[in-house]
Amino acid sequence: MTEDPLERIEREERERKANRGSRTLLISLACVAAALALVLGYLLYQRSTLVKALEGEKAELAKEMTDLQNDFNALSTDYESISHQLDTSREQVAMLIEKLSKTEATNRAKIRQYEKELGTLRTIMKGYIVQIDSLNTLNKKLTADAAAARREAAESRRENEELTQQVEALSSQVSAGKVLKARAIALNAHYSNDKIGDRHSRVRYMTATLSLVENSLADRGPVRVYVRVKDPEGVLLINEDSTEFTIGGEVLQASASREVDYEGSEVDMSIYINDIEEFFKGVYTLEVYTSQALLGRAECMLR
């Protein structure tokens, strides 16, 4: 059967339109696929870049943890309490390093948590350093103070050795802080014109001079000071006014004595040794006492 020409023309036109629509669709689909491929490639590139950056941050964080671990290991102290705390902090750093190694770099929440824990451990370490430095400084000061105290004590013992020997027998009976002391003890010989001299043939009397030093702890009131003067032969100088006194349970004779009113302040005094028949060449010795203690000694040379 022969096809009608008009129908054939219409059919062919429909086929041409259908073919053109298919080509257009195919081209559109191809464009979309290409665009999707580009987007996917871009996204994969972005993801790869981000992962590399996160891996770098993780590696940097791991290095900081290792550095902190080395710092903790290098830190040491002789103080037991801090040493125990250091051991605990070292364990915490080691555990943090282990947890980081098992965590993916893309787990941002965990990574940020570890960063905070690292910061806390850094702060703790700074606290340890401050404590150790403070304790070391204090220990050095105490050591220096102790050494200075020992030196001062040794020097004091050396300077006071003689005085300590003199008052040792009396130390059990009196308080050391209340015992009167004297300074500037001297023995002088005088001529008849009261001038000080050393020619034995012209000497008419002697004086013992001294100062009772200030002592806020000593008893207030009258204090009698005794002097014992011996000639070059060791004979005690005495006269009609010579007196006796007791010290440490022993009765001694004095060449002379004088009472003064002591109120805690320094007192200067002189004690005369008069009415001595004759003076000789040689060294005269002076001992000064109170009823509590020997205050000191002095000498005078006559020629």
Per residue in 152-205, pLDDT tens? 877 878 777 776 676 564 455 445 678 899 999 999 999 999 999 999 999 999
Where helices occur in 102-184 by DSSP H, the ranges are 108-167
Dist. CA 218–CA 262, nearest whole Å: 9
Indicate if the pLDDT at residue 130 is higher than 60.
Answer: yes
Q: What is the pLDDT of residue 173?
A: 45
Its pTM stands at 0.44
Dist. CA 153–CA 279, nearest whole Å: 44
Helices (H) and strands (E) in the chain, counts: 3, 9
Per cent of the chain over pLDDT 70 is 88
Vertex 93 angle, CA 55 and 70, to 5°: 90
Indicate if the pLDDT at residue 276 is higher than 60.
Answer: yes
Tell me whether strands 182-190 and 256-262 are parallel, antiparallel or unpaired.
Answer: unpaired
Mean pLDDT value of segment 211-223: 91
Q: What is the pLDDT of residue 80?
A: 74
Q: What is the pLDDT of residue 199?
A: 97
Q: What is the pLDDT of residue 175?
A: 59
Indicate if the pLDDT at residue 91 is higher than 80.
Answer: yes
User: What pLDDT band is residue 221 in, cutting at 50, 70 and 90?
Assistant: very high
Least confident of 68-82, 111-125, 162-176, 238-252: 162-176
283 three-class SS:
strand
CA of residue 4 relative to chain centroid, distance: 122
Q: What is the pLDDT of residue 3?
A: 64
Indicate if the pLDDT at residue 98 is higher than 50.
Answer: yes
- List, for residues 16-73, the tens digit of each pLDDT value: 777 776 777 777 777 777 777 776 665 665 666 656 767 778 888 788 878 888 887 8
Structural domains of the chain, ranges and CATH numbers in brackets: 22-170 (no CATH), 178-302 (2.60.40.10)
Burial class (CB in 10 A: 0-12, 13-18, 19+), 206: buried
Dist. CA 42–CA 49, nearest whole Å: 10
Q: Give the number of other Cβ atoms within 10 Å of residue 142's Cβ.
A: 10
167 and 179 Cβ atoms separated by less than 8 Å: yes
- List, for residues 156-166, the tens digit of each pLDDT value: 787 777 766 76
Dist. CA 126–CA 132, nearest whole Å: 10
Q: Give the number of other Cβ atoms within 10 Å of residue 97's Cβ.
A: 17
Q: What is the pLDDT of residue 123?
A: 87
When the pLDDT of each residue in the chain is averaged and rounded to a whole number, the result is 83
